[in-house]
Amino acid sequence: MRDFSRDHSALALNTATLGHNVEGHGAGWSPEQVIDACAERGYGGIVFWRREIGERAVRIGERARAAGLAVAGLCRTPFLTGPLVCGDDAAIMADFRASIDMAAALGAPVLTIVTGGIEPGTRGTGESRKRLADRIARAAPHAAACGVRLALEPLHPVYGGDRTCIMTVADALDICDAVGAPGLGVAVDVYHTWWDSTLPAVLAERGRGRILGFHLCDWLAETRDVLLDRGMMGDGVADLRGLRRAVEAAGYDGPCEVEIFSAETWWRRPPGEVLDTIVERFRSHC
Protein backbone atom coordinates (compact mmCIF):
# COMPACT_ATOMS: atom_id res chain seq x y z
CA MET A 1 0.00 0.00 0.00
CA ARG A 2 1.27 3.47 -0.84
CA ASP A 3 2.66 5.59 1.99
CA PHE A 4 1.06 9.04 2.01
CA SER A 5 2.51 10.21 5.33
CA ARG A 6 5.18 12.30 3.60
CA ASP A 7 3.84 12.54 0.06
CA HIS A 8 0.42 13.79 -0.98
CA SER A 9 1.02 14.01 -4.72
CA ALA A 10 -1.72 11.38 -5.18
CA LEU A 11 -4.25 13.71 -3.54
CA ALA A 12 -6.95 15.17 -5.78
CA LEU A 13 -9.67 17.64 -4.84
CA ASN A 14 -13.23 17.15 -5.99
CA THR A 15 -14.53 20.70 -6.03
CA ALA A 16 -17.78 19.59 -4.37
CA THR A 17 -15.69 19.67 -1.18
CA LEU A 18 -15.82 23.47 -1.41
CA GLY A 19 -19.56 23.49 -2.14
CA HIS A 20 -19.22 24.12 -5.86
CA ASN A 21 -21.72 21.46 -6.90
CA VAL A 22 -24.77 23.06 -5.25
CA GLU A 23 -26.11 26.52 -6.07
CA GLY A 24 -25.81 28.99 -3.18
CA HIS A 25 -23.14 27.08 -1.26
CA GLY A 26 -19.42 27.57 -0.83
CA ALA A 27 -17.30 30.69 -1.06
CA GLY A 28 -17.86 31.17 -4.77
CA TRP A 29 -14.26 30.70 -5.86
CA SER A 30 -13.68 30.50 -9.59
CA PRO A 31 -12.09 27.36 -11.06
CA GLU A 32 -8.90 29.36 -11.48
CA GLN A 33 -8.82 30.26 -7.77
CA VAL A 34 -9.34 26.64 -6.81
CA ILE A 35 -6.62 25.50 -9.21
CA ASP A 36 -4.10 27.97 -7.79
CA ALA A 37 -4.94 27.10 -4.18
CA CYS A 38 -4.55 23.38 -4.82
CA ALA A 39 -1.30 23.85 -6.72
CA GLU A 40 0.14 25.97 -3.90
CA ARG A 41 -0.54 23.14 -1.45
CA GLY A 42 0.94 20.38 -3.57
CA TYR A 43 -2.24 18.62 -4.64
CA GLY A 44 -1.68 16.32 -7.58
CA GLY A 45 -5.07 16.56 -9.23
CA ILE A 46 -8.49 18.13 -9.41
CA VAL A 47 -11.99 16.98 -10.37
CA PHE A 48 -14.58 19.50 -11.55
CA TRP A 49 -18.36 19.49 -11.80
CA ARG A 50 -20.05 20.30 -15.08
CA ARG A 51 -21.89 23.31 -13.68
CA GLU A 52 -18.54 25.07 -13.07
CA ILE A 53 -17.18 24.54 -16.55
CA GLY A 54 -19.75 26.00 -18.93
CA GLU A 55 -18.17 26.67 -22.30
CA ARG A 56 -14.64 26.94 -20.89
CA ALA A 57 -13.65 23.27 -20.70
CA VAL A 58 -10.55 23.56 -22.89
CA ARG A 59 -9.26 26.67 -21.13
CA ILE A 60 -9.86 25.33 -17.63
CA GLY A 61 -8.17 22.03 -18.45
CA GLU A 62 -5.15 23.84 -19.87
CA ARG A 63 -5.05 26.14 -16.83
CA ALA A 64 -5.01 23.19 -14.43
CA ARG A 65 -2.23 21.41 -16.27
CA ALA A 66 -0.16 24.60 -16.53
CA ALA A 67 -0.38 24.85 -12.73
CA GLY A 68 0.90 21.29 -12.38
CA LEU A 69 -2.43 19.62 -11.65
CA ALA A 70 -3.84 16.61 -13.47
CA VAL A 71 -7.52 16.87 -14.34
CA ALA A 72 -8.42 13.55 -12.73
CA GLY A 73 -12.07 13.44 -13.74
CA LEU A 74 -15.39 15.15 -14.31
CA CYS A 75 -18.66 14.90 -12.39
CA ARG A 76 -21.00 13.78 -13.82
CA THR A 77 -23.36 12.32 -16.40
CA PRO A 78 -27.04 13.16 -16.17
CA PHE A 79 -29.22 10.71 -14.29
CA LEU A 80 -29.91 7.91 -16.73
CA THR A 81 -32.88 6.26 -15.02
CA GLY A 82 -35.53 7.01 -12.44
CA PRO A 83 -37.69 9.92 -11.32
CA LEU A 84 -34.96 12.58 -11.56
CA VAL A 85 -34.19 12.16 -15.27
CA CYS A 86 -34.69 15.26 -17.41
CA GLY A 87 -36.56 14.69 -20.65
CA ASP A 88 -37.19 11.72 -22.88
CA ASP A 89 -34.69 9.15 -24.10
CA ALA A 90 -33.35 11.40 -26.84
CA ALA A 91 -32.75 14.25 -24.40
CA ILE A 92 -31.08 11.97 -21.87
CA MET A 93 -28.74 10.52 -24.48
CA ALA A 94 -27.92 13.96 -25.88
CA ASP A 95 -26.97 15.18 -22.40
CA PHE A 96 -24.98 11.99 -21.80
CA ARG A 97 -22.98 12.62 -24.98
CA ALA A 98 -22.54 16.28 -24.01
CA SER A 99 -21.03 15.25 -20.68
CA ILE A 100 -18.60 12.98 -22.53
CA ASP A 101 -17.68 15.83 -24.87
CA MET A 102 -17.03 18.12 -21.90
CA ALA A 103 -14.78 15.55 -20.25
CA ALA A 104 -12.81 15.19 -23.48
CA ALA A 105 -12.45 18.96 -23.92
CA LEU A 106 -11.35 19.31 -20.30
CA GLY A 107 -8.81 16.54 -20.72
CA ALA A 108 -10.45 14.45 -18.01
CA PRO A 109 -9.77 10.74 -18.53
CA VAL A 110 -12.76 9.64 -16.42
CA LEU A 111 -16.41 10.68 -16.37
CA THR A 112 -18.42 9.60 -13.34
CA ILE A 113 -21.83 8.00 -13.84
CA VAL A 114 -24.37 8.44 -11.04
CA THR A 115 -27.11 6.28 -12.43
CA GLY A 116 -30.38 7.67 -11.15
CA GLY A 117 -33.04 5.63 -9.44
CA ILE A 118 -35.95 3.32 -10.07
CA GLU A 119 -38.00 3.83 -13.20
CA PRO A 120 -41.46 5.19 -12.39
CA GLY A 121 -44.10 2.48 -12.48
CA THR A 122 -41.62 -0.35 -11.82
CA ARG A 123 -40.63 -2.23 -8.68
CA GLY A 124 -37.21 -3.45 -7.66
CA THR A 125 -34.08 -2.72 -9.65
CA GLY A 126 -34.33 -5.10 -12.62
CA GLU A 127 -36.03 -2.93 -15.22
CA SER A 128 -34.03 0.14 -14.22
CA ARG A 129 -30.74 -1.70 -14.56
CA LYS A 130 -31.71 -2.98 -18.00
CA ARG A 131 -32.44 0.57 -19.13
CA LEU A 132 -29.21 1.78 -17.52
CA ALA A 133 -27.16 -0.85 -19.33
CA ASP A 134 -28.84 -0.02 -22.64
CA ARG A 135 -28.10 3.70 -22.37
CA ILE A 136 -24.49 3.13 -21.32
CA ALA A 137 -24.01 0.67 -24.18
CA ARG A 138 -25.25 3.26 -26.66
CA ALA A 139 -22.95 5.98 -25.28
CA ALA A 140 -19.87 3.80 -24.81
CA PRO A 141 -18.61 3.97 -28.42
CA HIS A 142 -18.72 7.78 -28.31
CA ALA A 143 -16.82 7.79 -25.01
CA ALA A 144 -14.20 5.45 -26.46
CA ALA A 145 -13.81 7.65 -29.54
CA CYS A 146 -13.27 10.65 -27.22
CA GLY A 147 -10.74 8.84 -25.03
CA VAL A 148 -13.00 9.06 -21.98
CA ARG A 149 -13.56 6.15 -19.61
CA LEU A 150 -16.90 5.83 -17.82
CA ALA A 151 -16.91 5.11 -14.08
CA LEU A 152 -20.11 3.71 -12.59
CA GLU A 153 -20.44 4.89 -9.02
CA PRO A 154 -22.68 2.79 -6.77
CA LEU A 155 -24.38 4.79 -4.04
CA HIS A 156 -25.23 3.88 -0.47
CA PRO A 157 -28.57 2.01 -0.26
CA VAL A 158 -30.14 5.04 1.42
CA TYR A 159 -30.20 6.62 -2.07
CA GLY A 160 -31.97 3.64 -3.64
CA GLY A 161 -35.13 4.84 -5.30
CA ASP A 162 -34.45 8.34 -6.56
CA ARG A 163 -30.67 8.59 -7.10
CA THR A 164 -29.40 5.08 -7.73
CA CYS A 165 -30.39 1.65 -8.92
CA ILE A 166 -26.97 0.14 -8.08
CA MET A 167 -25.99 0.01 -4.41
CA THR A 168 -22.80 -2.06 -4.32
CA VAL A 169 -19.60 -2.38 -6.32
CA ALA A 170 -20.78 -5.88 -7.25
CA ASP A 171 -23.93 -4.31 -8.75
CA ALA A 172 -21.78 -1.89 -10.74
CA LEU A 173 -19.54 -4.67 -12.01
CA ASP A 174 -22.63 -6.60 -13.09
CA ILE A 175 -23.56 -3.64 -15.30
CA CYS A 176 -20.01 -3.54 -16.64
CA ASP A 177 -20.27 -7.21 -17.53
CA ALA A 178 -23.67 -6.73 -19.17
CA VAL A 179 -22.45 -3.83 -21.31
CA GLY A 180 -19.05 -5.31 -22.13
CA ALA A 181 -17.42 -2.00 -23.10
CA PRO A 182 -13.65 -1.94 -22.43
CA GLY A 183 -13.69 1.66 -21.19
CA LEU A 184 -16.34 1.05 -18.53
CA GLY A 185 -15.38 0.55 -14.88
CA VAL A 186 -16.28 1.55 -11.35
CA ALA A 187 -15.58 4.34 -8.88
CA VAL A 188 -15.27 3.26 -5.24
CA ASP A 189 -16.48 5.97 -2.87
CA VAL A 190 -15.87 5.57 0.86
CA TYR A 191 -19.18 7.21 1.71
CA HIS A 192 -21.14 4.71 -0.32
CA THR A 193 -19.16 1.51 0.27
CA TRP A 194 -17.66 1.65 3.78
CA TRP A 195 -20.40 -0.58 5.20
CA ASP A 196 -20.03 -3.38 2.62
CA SER A 197 -18.09 -6.24 4.23
CA THR A 198 -17.97 -8.09 0.90
CA LEU A 199 -16.10 -5.30 -0.88
CA PRO A 200 -12.51 -6.58 -0.46
CA ALA A 201 -13.44 -10.00 -1.82
CA VAL A 202 -15.43 -8.52 -4.70
CA LEU A 203 -12.56 -6.26 -5.69
CA ALA A 204 -10.04 -9.07 -5.43
CA GLU A 205 -12.13 -11.37 -7.58
CA ARG A 206 -13.61 -8.96 -10.11
CA GLY A 207 -12.08 -5.50 -9.78
CA ARG A 208 -8.63 -5.70 -11.29
CA GLY A 209 -8.29 -3.30 -14.19
CA ARG A 210 -11.79 -1.92 -13.68
CA ILE A 211 -11.34 0.52 -10.77
CA LEU A 212 -11.30 4.00 -12.29
CA GLY A 213 -11.55 6.11 -9.14
CA PHE A 214 -11.27 6.09 -5.35
CA HIS A 215 -13.17 8.79 -3.45
CA LEU A 216 -12.37 9.82 0.11
CA CYS A 217 -14.47 11.28 2.93
CA ASP A 218 -15.91 9.72 6.09
CA TRP A 219 -19.26 8.51 7.43
CA LEU A 220 -20.27 10.38 10.56
CA ALA A 221 -21.79 8.18 13.26
CA GLU A 222 -24.47 10.81 13.87
CA THR A 223 -25.13 11.89 10.31
CA ARG A 224 -27.70 14.71 10.21
CA ASP A 225 -28.31 14.71 6.46
CA VAL A 226 -27.50 11.69 4.34
CA LEU A 227 -26.84 13.85 1.28
CA LEU A 228 -25.09 16.92 2.68
CA ASP A 229 -23.37 15.86 5.92
CA ARG A 230 -20.34 13.83 4.93
CA GLY A 231 -17.39 13.82 7.29
CA MET A 232 -13.79 14.88 6.86
CA MET A 233 -11.42 11.92 6.87
CA GLY A 234 -10.83 10.81 10.43
CA ASP A 235 -14.04 12.28 11.85
CA GLY A 236 -16.20 9.23 11.23
CA VAL A 237 -16.38 5.47 11.44
CA ALA A 238 -15.10 4.28 8.04
CA ASP A 239 -11.94 2.17 7.90
CA LEU A 240 -10.20 4.43 5.41
CA ARG A 241 -6.90 2.58 5.23
CA GLY A 242 -8.64 -0.76 5.06
CA LEU A 243 -10.71 0.41 2.11
CA ARG A 244 -7.69 1.83 0.33
CA ARG A 245 -5.79 -1.38 0.99
CA ALA A 246 -8.55 -3.34 -0.74
CA VAL A 247 -8.65 -0.97 -3.70
CA GLU A 248 -4.89 -0.97 -4.16
CA ALA A 249 -4.65 -4.74 -3.71
CA ALA A 250 -6.93 -4.95 -6.75
CA GLY A 251 -4.44 -2.92 -8.76
CA TYR A 252 -5.59 0.68 -8.36
CA ASP A 253 -2.71 3.17 -8.18
CA GLY A 254 -4.46 6.35 -9.32
CA PRO A 255 -5.46 9.54 -7.54
CA CYS A 256 -7.35 9.59 -4.26
CA GLU A 257 -10.15 12.09 -4.70
CA VAL A 258 -11.54 13.92 -1.68
CA GLU A 259 -15.27 14.55 -2.15
CA ILE A 260 -17.12 15.93 0.87
CA PHE A 261 -20.69 17.23 0.73
CA SER A 262 -21.02 19.22 3.95
CA ALA A 263 -23.50 22.10 3.83
CA GLU A 264 -23.41 22.97 7.52
CA THR A 265 -19.73 22.34 8.31
CA TRP A 266 -17.00 22.30 5.69
CA TRP A 267 -18.83 24.37 3.09
CA ARG A 268 -19.11 27.16 5.68
CA ARG A 269 -15.38 27.31 6.41
CA PRO A 270 -12.77 29.31 4.49
CA PRO A 271 -11.66 27.29 1.46
CA GLY A 272 -7.99 27.62 2.36
CA GLU A 273 -8.66 26.10 5.77
CA VAL A 274 -10.55 23.21 4.17
CA LEU A 275 -7.75 22.53 1.71
CA ASP A 276 -5.12 22.60 4.47
CA THR A 277 -7.17 20.24 6.63
CA ILE A 278 -7.53 17.81 3.74
CA VAL A 279 -3.75 17.62 3.30
CA GLU A 280 -3.22 16.97 7.02
CA ARG A 281 -5.95 14.32 7.22
CA PHE A 282 -4.85 12.66 3.99
CA ARG A 283 -1.36 12.20 5.38
CA SER A 284 -2.46 11.12 8.84
CA HIS A 285 -5.65 9.09 8.28
CA CYS A 286 -5.71 7.78 4.72
pLDDT of residue 28: 87
Residues 106 and 48 sit within 8 Å (Cβ to Cβ):
yes
The structure's pTM equals 0.97
Residues 17 and 273 sit within 8 Å (Cβ to Cβ):
no
**CATH superfamily label, 11-285:** Divalent-metal-dependent TIM barrel enzymes (3.20.20.150)
The answer on pLDDT for 131 being more than 90 is yes
Average pLDDT for residues 62-84, to the nearest whole number? 98
Segments making up each domain of the chain, as ranges: 11-285
- pLDDT-based confidence at 198, cuts 50/70/90? very high
Judged by DSSP in three states, 52 sits in helix
The answer on pLDDT for 263 being more than 90 is yes
Distance in angstroms (rounded) separating the CA atoms of residues 78 and 21: 14
Average pLDDT value over all residues in the chain: 97
Alpha helices (H) along 147-268: 169-179, 190-193, 199-202, 240-249
Compute the half-sphere exposure of residue 239: CA atoms within 13 Å on the CB side of its CA: 10
Q: What is the pLDDT of residues 18-45, one digit of tens each?
A: 998 788 888 889 999 999 999 999 999 9
